[in-house]
Amino acid sequence: MTTWGQRPDGMPYGTTTIVPLTECPGNGFVFFEEKFEKADVERLTPLVTGAEYQSLRLTDTPYFRAWWLMNRLGRDPYDTAQTLLVASWEGGPDLSRKARYQRSFVASVDALPMSAAKKSDWFWLSLRSANLFRELGDFDKSTALLVKIDQPDTLPTDKDSLEDARYMIDALKLLNADRNAKSEPTNLIPPMVALDYCAASTGLTPAEVSACKGPAIEKARRDRAR
C-alpha cells in the first residue's frame, strides 16, 4: 500500500485508499476487530442476524455497518467516530449517503468527551469535523468550530503537528470565506493532484486560484514537465 497525501477529509490518495474489511458471505458480519471475546460474540449474534442490520446490508457500506455494531457494543467513541469517518469516504459515489454519513460523523464528534488523554485525538477529529461542516455547506458552523479548536490549550504542541494543524485551519478558513464546499479544493490536496484542477481552471474560488499560483503547485508543474 502506497499513499501520496490526502484529501482534507483524511482519505488518502494511493494504491489502496480504504483498507477493506473482511465480510462474512453468509450473514454479512464485518470483522472490525481481529479478535472478539465470547461476550462480544453473544451480543453480536442477535444484532447481526436481526432485521435492522440485515437491511443495512442493502443500503450501507461495510465501515458504516462496523460503526453501527461498534456503537451497540459500547466501543470507545473515538474509535467509532474514526470508523464513521472512513465510512464517509466509502459513501462518496452516492452523494446523499455520503452527506448522511458526514452528518452522523459531526454529531458523533460533537458528543466526544474531552480529556487530557484524548486531547490529540479530539483535536484532529474536530478538525475533520470542521472540514465536513464545510463540505456539507454549513460554513458558519465550520468557522465556529475552527475558532473553538484554534486555542493554545487545544492545538498540538509538537512543531510538525502544529504546522500541519495551522496550515489546515488557515486553509479551511479561506475556503469558508469563499463558500467553497468541494471535497478536493486545490489548496488542501497534494500539489501533483491539484495540478489537473488548476489546469482546468473552471469553478475555482479565490483561495484555490491563489494556491494554483503558489510555489508548491508551481514546483509540481515543473516536476511534471521534466
Which residues in the chain show pLDDT less than 50?
none
All 3 cell numbers of residue 146? 475552527
Q: What is the pLDDT of residue 151?
A: 94
Q: What is the pLDDT of residue 1?
A: 76
* End-to-end alpha carbon distance in the chain: 26
CB atoms closer than 10 angstroms to residue 160: 8
Domain ranges, ordered by start, for the chain: 3-186, 187-226
CB atoms closer than 10 angstroms to residue 86: 24
Q: What is the pLDDT of residue 39?
A: 96
Q: What is the pLDDT of residue 32?
A: 96
DSSP string, 142-173: HHHHHHHH-STTTS--SHHHHHHHHHHHHHHH
* Cα(155)–Cα(164) distance, integer angstroms: 11
Q: What is the pLDDT of residue 54?
A: 98
Q: What is the pLDDT of residue 52?
A: 97
Q: What is the pLDDT of residue 135?
A: 98
167-201: pLDDT as tens digits: 999 999 999 999 999 999 999 999 999 999 999 98
